[in-house]
Amino acid sequence: MSFMPDTQTTSIATHTNEDIYIRDRSLCRELIGKLSFTDMIYFQILGRMPTPAQSSVVDACLVTLMEHGLTPSALATRLIYSSAPEAMQAGVAAGLMGVGSVFVGTMEGCAALLAEILAAPEGVAGAALRIAQDHRTARKPLPGFGHHMHRPDDPRSIRLFDVAREQGIAGRHVDAILALSAAIDQVYGKHITINATGAIAACLGDCDVPAEILRGFALITRCAGLVGHIHEEQHKPAMRVIWETAEHAVAYDGTIPEK
């Protein structure tokens, strides 16, 4: 049985009449105008300032995930916003609900595999081979791998790894996903690309972002992307076309009774 402490505390923020303090830093004197939004995200969530190299790599990951076109999250946002234009937040929230284990949020599952590889007693290569064999035998999807359009390789992943290397950030997590990629190609007998979420899991891991909060970074950047879709819907509405296209594409297969 767990017990609540006598006094609950927070380490994130407080305020006085003169200022606001976030993790012991003055918002007005030390943060506004001095930190980028990416730096502030890292600082507020993790409680420490990123190095310039970490900031560059995290920023690259956020840019990569911001936009995916008319995917389920963007469609949900456009449809809900068009139904309730007085509540922009409802449209954004609807889209964020779609950041899960199939789209965007797969970085979380990939990060768990990388953590398993790095902690395995048999070493990186042995653990990577075991994981690839287990997934193929069980016919389980490989989070962070494969893409229906980007073949043979996801260009976003290539660029992210380049940025991580240029910044001197690429380390154990990038090495682990490359080892897993080689093992997957060997076990499956074909090349399966590391997709963007896999690359992001590795790059953020090497930026010291814990696996359990990785999906939060996806939510932050997708929120911005969904606001962009709402703005376009305001000026170039597509909801009616999406709705009518769905009606024509999905035929009714019941029987209409004769009068």
* CA 216, 219, 221, 227 torsion-angle sign: negative
Within this chain, do residues 84 and 172 fall inside the same structural domain, yes or no?
Answer: yes
pTM of the predicted model, to two decimals? 0.90
Please indicate, yes or no, if residue 256 is contained in any of the structural domains: no
Domain boundaries, position 18: 7-49
Within this chain, do residues 34 and 121 fall inside the same structural domain, yes or no?
Answer: no
Q: How many structural domains does the chain have?
A: 2
Please indicate, yes or no, if residue 14 is contained in any of the structural domains: yes
Angle between helices 52-65 and 196-206 (to 10 degrees): 160
Q: Report in angstroms the alpha-carbon separations of 44 from 15, 17, 63.
A: 15, 21, 19
Please indicate, yes or no, if residue 44 is contained in any of the structural domains: yes
Within this chain, do residues 122 and 141 fall inside the same structural domain, yes or no?
Answer: yes
Within this chain, do residues 182 and 89 fall inside the same structural domain, yes or no?
Answer: yes
> pLDDT of the chain along its 259 residues, tens only?
556 667 899 999 999 999 999 999 999 999 999 999 999 999 999 999 999 999 999 999 999 999 988 888 999 999 999 999 999 999 999 999 988 766 666 788 899 999 999 999 999 999 999 999 999 999 998 999 987 777 799 999 999 999 999 999 999 999 999 999 999 999 999 999 999 999 999 999 999 999 999 999 999 999 999 999 999 999 999 988 998 998 899 988 898 888 7
